[in-house]
């Protein structure tokens, strides 16, 4: 079996070396660090960090490796003083480091459930820092871009509602067209059509493997109840297309919301954070939510229960899980 030292000594390009290193078992990588220069030390540690995040999710070990990487003066030089975008190693380190660091900050250390779209924006910026030539002509960077895009896709699916979400989905569907398997492709289509996602389907979506190293984080580390609340936010916004006003009690019925979840509290927080695309008020006496300033196109008259129920039934048929 090829070792780290053998790969590092090969007379091949940096991209080929990095790709081959990524295929190794890096469990005991520390014993190989002494024979590597500073740049490859960082690369080896980043690859091990990525492996731990996708497998054991050993948080103390993750924090230890991050600390080692961050204390390396070479990393500080690369990230703080600029670098040539034609320098393959420096570019790879900067992209991979920022990708994994933001994963740690938003998903692992202290999950920021209401700010996943903020993380999406950071991931898009990371991709945009890759020169066009590298993103189309290299062996290494197209794979790196696709990995980050698959992260963005999953973050989109588990994030709360945000006015930026439609533009994110447009970006993803254009770039990931034809690259997704059957179930993921169906999930993308549901969100693209603005469908209401009932909790039963959402929980199934949480179990899907997006091939982005997030599976362990999403299935075992994140709070599924908080993720469900994010999904409910999206569903509530979808109701504004069908109702000018609706009783909170009816929301529980239409959206299949578990009774232990306080829908009124969710809506109140959405109002406080200006989540809705237009003004919304809660009538606590009547137990009503009033959606205001809807356009004529979306002001569909009041017999919408059957239509919304049909959407939910359609989703159950379209996503066999």
Q: What is the pLDDT of residue 201?
A: 92
Gap between the Cα atoms of 180 and 185, Å rounded: 5
Residue 186, SS3 per DSSP: helix
Q: What is the largest CA-CA distance in the chain?
A: 76
In this structure, what are the phi and psi dihedrals at residue 56, rounded to the nearest 5 degrees? Answer: -80, -25
Please provide the distance, in angstroms rounded to a whole number, between the alpha carbons at the two ends of the chain. Answer: 39
| Range 68-74 contact pairs with CB under 8 angstroms and sequence separation of 24 or more | 69/42, 69/45, 69/97, 72/38, 72/41, 72/42, 73/38, 74/38, 74/39, 74/42
The model's pLDDT over 131-148, given as tens digits with 9 standing for 90+, comes to: 887 777 888 999 999 999
> Can you give the C-alpha Rg of the chain in angstroms?
23
Beta bridge partners of 245: 290
Secondary structure letter of residue 289 according to DSSP: E
| Low-confidence stretches of the chain (pLDDT beneath 70) | 1, 80-86, 292-321
Query: What's CA 108's distance to the chain center, in Å?
Result: 13
Q: Residue 124: CB partners within 8 Å, gap ≥ 6? A: 152, 168, 171
Lookup: tokens for 6: 């053998």
Query: What's CA 85's distance to the chain center, in Å?
Result: 26
Q: State the DSSP H helix or E strand holding residue 80, giving kind and residue range, or none if neither.
A: helix 73-80
């Amino acid at each position: 079996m090829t070792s780290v030292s053998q790969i590092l000594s090969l007379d091949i390009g940096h991209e080929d070396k990095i790709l081959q290193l990524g295929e190794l078992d890096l469990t005991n990588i520390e014993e190989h660090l002494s024979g590597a220069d500073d740049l490859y030390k960082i690369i080896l540690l980043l690859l091990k960090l990525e492996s731990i995040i996708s497998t054991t999710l050993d948080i103390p070990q993750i924090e230890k490796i991050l600390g080692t990487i961050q204390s390396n003066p070479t990393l500080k030089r690369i990230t703080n003083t600029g670098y040539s975008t034609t320098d393959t190693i420096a570019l790879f380190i900067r992209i991979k480091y920022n990708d994994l660091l933001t994963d740690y900050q938003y998903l692992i250390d202290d999950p920021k459930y209401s700010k996943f779209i903020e993380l999406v924006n950071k991931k898009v910026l990371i991709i945009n820092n890759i020169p066009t030539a590298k993103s189309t002509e290299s062996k290494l960077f197209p794979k790196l871009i696709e990995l980050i895009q698959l992260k963005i896709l999953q973050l989109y699916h588990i994030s709360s509602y945000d006015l930026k979400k439609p533009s994110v989905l447009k970006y993803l569907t254009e770039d990931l067209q034809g690259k997704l398997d059957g179930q993921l492709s169906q999930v993308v289509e549901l969100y693209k059509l603005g469908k209401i996602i009932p909790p039963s389907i959402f929980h199934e979506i949480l179990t899907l493997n997006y091939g982005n190293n997030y599976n362990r984080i999403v299935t075992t580390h994140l709070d599924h109840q908080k993720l469900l609340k994010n999904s409910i936010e999206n569903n509530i916004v979808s109701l504004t297309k069908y109702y000018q006003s609706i009783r909170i009690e009816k929301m529980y019925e239409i959206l299949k919301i578990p009774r232990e979840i306080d829908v009124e509290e969710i809506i109140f927080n959405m109002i406080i954070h200006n989540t809705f695309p237009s003004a919304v008020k809660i009538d606590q006496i009547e137990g009503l939510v009033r959606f205001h300033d809807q356009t004529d196109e979306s002001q569909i008259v009041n017999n919408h229960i059957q239509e919304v129920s049909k959407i939910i039934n359609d989703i159950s048929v379209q996503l066999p899980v």
